[in-house]
Chains A and B, each alone.
Chain A
């Protein structure tokens, strides 16, 4: 299994899309850090951010890591469906006819790269957020442990979404449909369900992954149901277990259905 995971990591290292996605995570996180830090303290508008003198405001601008979650899901999707898009699944399955082992290796490799996404986003958001706070001359009220906890949370949330992406990509094989599905789910479906049913909201996967990184409900940089108030995020462990469960469920369904099909 170690060999298969290493192979999947080499596959990711030798195509440009991986680097493109990491740069996109850094760029979008940076963009939102600048926007939200500049908006902090203004009380009106959908993206109202508390003053940078408060812990809430400082938390918001140092935890804009949600792009790493969405793009980790996209990465996971590409890891799985890319094999069918480029017909390389033939060679992959010739080398490893046990398709479940291939799936497991992809889950682990995508999780590893997902953690890098989380790390990059946390570093950019924390760095820029703190720079803005310092620029305003405000004292930093967040403790180092809290900020490290948020960063670690991003490095757990993004890998778990990457794994869900692998399951999804194995299930539907079509890269384009999968990417559209991820964005519609994260932004439209979770917004609609989360807005209508506040009690279900914390259990929605993308929302739960952002909660891991210390993002308050509805506070994701590019995320669902900003205007909806109320409800509280799942505790860390519960959110993690929920996401592991979703990833496992999607992967098992994929392994039992689509993955058994002929490779054309």
Chain B
């Protein structure tokens, strides 16, 4: 069942078409990556979805209604739009206290979410003294305060150090495991690739694709790196099967046009030992770049 629905959502700022007839749905319990380069219209879309900006045309609804008409919006949706939307002069605890009052949740929940985002020791410091990463964590704590079923996160990895990104991935996995619906935006596919069920890719306000990661990688040449003591033998066998092979070192090959499974089977048939194999991890990023560049090129003549 779709809990988030966008129908022909359009936003125009003067001559600039920021979001162009965008339609997609997010089903309950799904984790969806909302991707696009900077300026693609992701934030504008999320702001329209949350009733903070009004669409020029089209509609965005949550649980069957526009956000403004939800009964207890904070209990339905938790959102992190901008890490800096807390008053810098207020302590993190007081910031959460105000949100807890608005969400009508108990004060003990404040300690729980502070603990969850690892800000307990900084709770009584003023938000203005926080690093960007700490403010992101505070934003997530704020969104989770009311224990909402749906989470809408705009670039939550911004400002996080590698440890923070790792923490965020784990948090998203935990939220997904709890059956929550998550729409998380990012301009870096790799940030969310490990967590999402599907991706919505946006470029210049238009939908490029809404698909699973598997669908996205189908038909795209992968590069598989192989370490084997019989590199020459394996190269010959692979080339006979039609794969493209590069010998990068006496015991290392880079193979495209063949999957790791096919390579493994072929090696076994020829009794060639394989000491290691890895699929190039930048593939997703390349696909993402290709998809968004392709759209740019297609749109240029207009």
Instruction: Check A97/B89 contact, CB under 8 A, given A10-B101, A14-B98, A262-B54.
Output: no
Report yes or no: B99 in contact with A95, Cβ–Cβ below 8 A: yes
| Residues on A with beta carbons closer than 8 Å to the beta carbon of B97 | 10, 14
Report yes or no: B68 in contact with A14, Cβ–Cβ below 8 A: no
| Residues on B with beta carbons closer than 8 Å to the beta carbon of A263 | 47, 52-53
Tell me the complex Cα distance, A97–B74, Å: 10
| Interchain CB contact (< 8 A) of B50 among A14, A88, A94, A96 | A94
Q: Does more than half of chain A's interface fall in helix, strand or loop, or is it mixed? A: helix
Tell me the complex Cα distance, A6–B51, Å: 24
Tell me the complex Cα distance, A10–B99, Å: 11
| Interchain CB contact (< 8 A) of A87 among B85, B89, B90, B104 | B85
Report yes or no: B87 in contact with A88, Cβ–Cβ below 8 A: yes
| Residues on B with beta carbons closer than 8 Å to the beta carbon of A15 | 87, 89-90
Closest approach, in angstroms, between the C-beta of B117 and any C-beta of chain A? 16
Interface residue count on the B side (C-beta < 8 Å): 32
Tell me the complex Cα distance, A61–B94, Å: 40
| Residues on B with beta carbons closer than 8 Å to the beta carbon of A17 | 89
Nearest residue, chain B, Cβ from A15: B89
| Residues on A with beta carbons closer than 8 Å to the beta carbon of B88 | 86
| Residues on B with beta carbons closer than 8 Å to the beta carbon of A86 | 84-88
Interface residue count on the A side (C-beta < 8 Å): 24
Tell me the complex Cα distance, A3–B84, Å: 25
| Interchain CB contact (< 8 A) of B52 among A3, A90, A98 | A90
Q: Cβ of A136 < 8 Å from any Cβ of B?
A: no
Tell me the complex Cα distance, A3–B82, Å: 25
| Residues on A with beta carbons closer than 8 Å to the beta carbon of B142 | 91
Report yes or no: B51 in contact with A97, Cβ–Cβ below 8 A: yes
| Interchain CB contact (< 8 A) of B85 among A6, A82, A88, A262 | A88
Report yes or no: B98 in contact with A262, Cβ–Cβ below 8 A: no
Tell me the complex Cα distance, A263–B79, Å: 14
Q: Give a binary string over B68-82; 1 marks a CB under 8 Å from any A CB, 0 the rest.
A: 101001100101011
Q: Cβ of A7 < 8 Å from any Cβ of B?
A: yes
Nearest residue, chain A, Cβ from B88: A86
Tell me the complex Cα distance, A17–B126, Å: 14
| Residues on A with beta carbons closer than 8 Å to the beta carbon of B70 | 97
Closest approach, in angstroms, between the C-beta of A91 and any C-beta of chain B? 5
Report yes or no: A16 in contact with B87, Cβ–Cβ below 8 A: no
Nearest residue, chain A, Cβ from B104: A3
| Interchain CB contact (< 8 A) of A97 among B67, B87, B103, B104 | B67
Tell me the complex Cα distance, A235–B47, Å: 49
| Interchain CB contact (< 8 A) of A7 among B77, B79, B101 | B101
Nearest residue, chain A, Cβ from B53: A262
Report yes or no: A262 in contact with B52, Cβ–Cβ below 8 A: yes
Closest approach, in angstroms, between the C-beta of A176 and any C-beta of chain B? 16
| Residues on A with beta carbons closer than 8 Å to the beta carbon of B177 | none
Closest approach, in angstroms, between the C-beta of B200 and any C-beta of chain A? 22
Q: Cβ of A197 < 8 Å from any Cβ of B?
A: no
B97-149 CB contacts (< 8 Å) to partner A: 97-99, 101-104, 142
Given A10-B97, A14-B90, 15 extra CB contacts under 8 A: A3-B104, A7-B101, A11-B90, A14-B97, A14-B98, A86-B84, A87-B84, A91-B142, A94-B77, A95-B74, A95-B99, A95-B102, A97-B73, A262-B52, A262-B53
Taking Cβ atoms with an 8 Å cutoff, the residues of B that contact A are 47, 50-54, 67-68, 70, 73-74, 77, 79, 81-82, 84-91, 94, 97-99, 101-104, 142
Taking Cβ atoms with an 8 Å cutoff, the residues of A that contact B are 3, 6-7, 10-11, 14-17, 82, 86-88, 90-91, 93-98, 260, 262-263
